[in-house]
Amino acid sequence: MRDLTLDISPLLCGKTGDQTFSLEWTGIPEIFYGIKPVEPVSVSGTIRNRQKYFELNMTVEFEFTSECARCLKPIKKHAEYSCVKSIVTQAENNDGEYIVVDNNAVTLNEAAEELLFLELPSRLLCSEDCAGLCHICGKNLNEGPCPCRKETDPRWDGLKRFLDNNHIITEGGAENGSTKA
């Protein structure tokens, strides 16, 4: 994994003004279930001297691929997330709130991972009104209705889901009249 490490010696030596940076992030850990960032991910921003600490403004920008939670269609999206963090030269009880300077440098991996973890959606849809897949025949209902759907009595949905989950074929189940009074 490539470290997002940045030498900030000029700021530590008292140089005023912002230090800007632009890094490429690769080898991103697969902690984001179902979401795959297209590498390299751009990590850029500024670090400003605030006298007692340094203020990091960081933006992580990338494309990612995933799939619709309802119809499984592949999705490609653009993401751009920003955060502000404090950089300190030493911290006694650091619980991840601060980034601590080490050898005149800071490593931004943890802050970047935290940002993605907080901001990336846990559930994506191809569109807000995605109709999803038929529980019975698996047809993508965005492409039109399927034959089993119009016979469906909502009272049987729970049973159908149970049968689907257990891979029990319910072919023609609604057509033999047993679900109609």
Residues engaged in binding Zn ion (CB under 5 A): 68, 70-71, 73, 126, 130, 134, 136-137, 139, 146, 148
Q: Which two tokens stand for residue 4?
A: 């997002």
Rank residues 83 and 125 by Cβ distance to Zn ion and give the closer one.
Answer: 125
Which secondary structure element, helix H or strand E, spans residue 41, and what is its range?
A: strand 41-49
Of 12 and 163, which has the nearer Cβ to Zn ion? 163
**Assigned token pair, 124:** 């994506």
Q: How far is the CB of 68 from Zn ion (least distance, A)?
A: 3
Bridge partners (DSSP) of residue 47 are: 19, 56
CB of 119 to Zn ion, least distance (A): 22
70 in helix, strand or coil? Answer: coil
Give the closest residue to 149 by CA, choosing from 166, 137, 161, 165: 137
CB of 132 to Zn ion, least distance (A): 6
One-letter amino acid of 149: R
Whichever of 27 and 138 has its CB closer to Zn ion, that residue is: 138
